[in-house]
């Protein structure tokens, strides 16, 4: 079964631009979570979508947004890019909504590495 | 406010010996804990988990211990192999508003042949 697919894998943008990243979850998975990974901060939660609804949002500014489509594919958008947005953006899918003792295993994609110049 | 802490950024171990990776948490509402392993240029992969009703869970060479009173968990790898060299992330989850997975910053494990 195909894994989580993230596109693009690498991209370079300049400050002030905006970027859209895409994530296709494992077939049948309805939950998609997004994380930002930086060397100093580890994995930081951005948001989670389940059945097209945002269930939870991390502590990121409003420049970070996302959405989920009826086929469970998800996109995240970052507007007015800043140098500090350079990071690896990871998408993870799970069969059930992530949380508590019912947390299903999260399956991560390989990430989209964003460099902001 | 870092709710899941991995205080050792790196750990180096000889092949065949035991690797012990530690993780502390501050949120008493967390009741489910997971470890993920990440190789360079790959996404993290699930390794092992433990529910707060248990204090130990074992899967082959990997054992996770949970000390709820100390809000501490550890991952033991015995025996360590060079292929275990990776970044290990501890994660925690709870119910209600704490349900989302909160990750630590990771520990880079290097197993030397």
| pLDDT tens per residue across span A53-70 | 998 888 899 999 999 999
**Chain B residues touching residue A55 (CB < 8 angstroms):** 100
Closest partner residue to A109 among B43, B52, B100, by Cβ? B43
Calculate how close chain A gets to B67, using CA atoms only, in Å: 17
If residue B56 lies in a helix (H) or strand (E), which one and from where to where? strand B56-59
Q: Alpha-carbon distance A92 to A68, whole Å?
A: 13
B51 vs A contacts (CB less than 8 Å): 101
Q: Please indicate if any CB of chain B lies within 8 Å of the CB of A109.
A: yes
Contacts of A40 in chain B (CB under 8 A): 105
User: How many angstroms separate the CA atoms of B80 and B78, rounded?
Assistant: 5
Q: Going by C-beta distance under 8 Å and a sequence separation of 6 or more, which residues neighbour residue A23?
A: A4, A5, A6, A32, A34, A73, A74, A75, A76, A91, A93, A109
Q: How does pLDDT run along chain A (117 residues), one tens digit per residue? A: 579 999 999 999 999 999 999 999 999 988 999 999 987 778 899 999 998 999 888 889 999 999 999 999 999 999 999 999 999 999 999 887 655 555 657 899 999 999 999
pLDDT tens digit at each of 113 positions of chain B: 679 999 999 999 999 999 999 999 998 888 889 999 999 888 999 999 999 999 999 999 999 999 999 999 999 999 999 999 999 999 998 876 666 788 999 999 999 99
From A97's Cα to the closest Cα of chain B, the distance in A is 9
**Neighbouring-strand partners of residue B113:** none
Q: Is A11 on the interface with B (CB under 8 A)?
A: no
């Amino acid at each position: 079964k195909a894994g989580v697919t993230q596109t693009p894998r690498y991209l370079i943008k300049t400050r002030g631009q905006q970027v859209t990243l895409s994530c296709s979850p494992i077939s049948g998975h309805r939950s998609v979570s997004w994380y930002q990974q930086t060397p100093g901060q580890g994995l930081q939660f951005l948001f989670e979508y389940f059945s097209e609804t945002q269930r939870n949002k991390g502590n990121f500014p409003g420049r970070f947004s996302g959405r989920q489509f009826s086929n469970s594919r998800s996109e995240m958008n970052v507007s007015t890019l800043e140098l500090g947005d350079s990071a690896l953006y990871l998408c993870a899918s799970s069969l059930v909504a992530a949380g508590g003792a019912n947390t299903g295993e999260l399956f991560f994609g390989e990430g989209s590495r964003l460099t902001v110049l | 406010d870092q709710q899941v802490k991995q205080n050792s950024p790196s750990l180096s171990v000889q092949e065949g010996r035991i690797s012990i990776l530690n993780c502390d948490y501050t949120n008493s509402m967390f009741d489910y804990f997971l470890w993920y392993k990440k190789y360079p240029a790959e996404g993290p992969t699930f390794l092992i988990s433990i529910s707060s009703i248990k204090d130990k869970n074992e899967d082959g060479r990997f054992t996770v211990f949970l000390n709820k009173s100390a809000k501490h968990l550890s991952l033991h790898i015995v025996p360590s192999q060079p292929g275990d060299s990776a970044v290990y992330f501890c994660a925690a989850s709870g119910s209600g508003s704490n349900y989302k997975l909160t990750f630590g910053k990771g520990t880079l494990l290097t197993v030397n042949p």
